């Protein structure tokens, strides 16, 4: 089943109010590709201003806390993100799994908190280079997905396969490796959610750019992309959206 593609940018800890013009350029440029869903996951501090600047365009967060509210200094709840104008959030990015020691069970709780509040979720999984080199990439990522998937929820959920060694490095797995991983993840989603698992989008992420996007989007079960560095400028990001529209 061909799913409508989602191309989501992850600005990470980049962007100031002076960059809102770039958000506007991306939102306006995306209108040329109505068959593709486009979103920008911004630093929390920019979400409200961006959402006001580009009404109707999907602005997302990069993380969410699993609790509804409480004594969690520096954290942001799903309701707070919604209140600021976000419509989705990333959870389980490898930079949080590694840098903030987030566990699969915590990521699962974050996904459940976000989805039950009405936020879309992009749940990231992916293997390290060491795991890839031992030939255990598929089984490792399958286990990571099984342990991070929200219970009972499929609507609003997307999964992003992001090999850690491909993030920000310019390295990209071969199309056969992407195809093998995405087919395996599709099977795990169907095992978890039944037929509803067929409509969960599986994005690829890791050094996607204009020059490789068409080839990546041609792979079976690649339902979009999560894009880091190439999402910061409309001139880099919109050709990726165009490739998704043409695929």
The residues that touch ligand PEP, with contacts defined as CB under 6 A, are 10, 162, 167-168, 205-208, 226-230
- Quote the tokens at residue 145: 């997905």
Q: SS3 for 29-63, per residue? A: HHCCCCCCEEEEECCHHHHHHHHHHCCCCEEEECC
- Quote the tokens at residue 101: 């020691």
Minimal distance in Å, beta carbon 47 to ligand PEP? 17
Distance CA 114, CA 150 (A): 10
Catalytic residue among 93, 112, 127, 182, which? Answer: 93
Minimal distance in Å, beta carbon 12 to ligand PEP? 6
Does residue 182 have an active-site annotation? no
Q: How many residues would you count in the chain? A: 247
Catalytic residue among 127, 162, 182, 221, which? Answer: 162
Q: Judge whether 30 and 12 are in contact, CB under 8 Å.
A: no
What 3-state class would DSSP assign to 233?
coil
Q: Judge whether 122 and 91 are in contact, CB under 8 Å.
A: yes
Minimal distance in Å, beta carbon 62 to ligand PEP? 9
- Quote the tokens at residue 225: 């992309």
Name the residue nearer to ligand PEP (CB basis): 190 or 236: 236
Minimal distance in Å, beta carbon 168 to ligand PEP? 4
Does residue 162 have an active-site annotation? yes
Name the residue nearer to ligand PEP (CB basis): 230 or 243: 230
- Catalytic sites, residue numbers: 93, 162
């Amino acid at each position: 089943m061909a799913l409508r593609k989602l191309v989501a940018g992850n600005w990470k800890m980049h962007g100031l109010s002076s960059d809102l013009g770039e958000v506007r350029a991306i939102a306006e440029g995306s209108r040329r590709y109505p068959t593709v869903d486009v979103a920008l996951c911004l630093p929390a501090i920019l979400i409200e201003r961006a959402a006001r600047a580009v009404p109707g365009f999907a602005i997302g967060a990069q993380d969410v806390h699993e609790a509804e509210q409480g004594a969690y200094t520096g954290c942001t709840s799903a309701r707070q993100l919604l209140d600021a104008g976000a419509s989705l959030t990333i959870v389980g990015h490898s930079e949080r799994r590694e840098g903030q020691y987030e566990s699969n069970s915590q990521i699962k709780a974050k996904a459940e908190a976000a989805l039950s509040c009405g936020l879309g979720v992009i749940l990231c999984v992916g293997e390290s280079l060491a795991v890839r080199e031992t030939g255990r990439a598929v089984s490792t990522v399958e286990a990571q997905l099984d342990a991070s998937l929200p219970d009972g929820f499929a609507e609003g959920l997307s999964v992003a396969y992001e090999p850690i060694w491909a993030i920000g490095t310019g390295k990209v797995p071969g199309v056969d490796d992407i195809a093998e991983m995405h087919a395996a993840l599709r099977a795990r989603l169907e095992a978890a959610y039944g037929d509803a698992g067929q409509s969960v989008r599986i994005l690829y992420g890791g050094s996607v750019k204009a020059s490789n996007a068409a080839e990546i989007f041609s792979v079976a079960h690649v339902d979009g992309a999560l894009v880091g560095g190439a999402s910061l400028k409309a001139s880099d990001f919109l050709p990726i959206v165009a490739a998704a529209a043409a695929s």
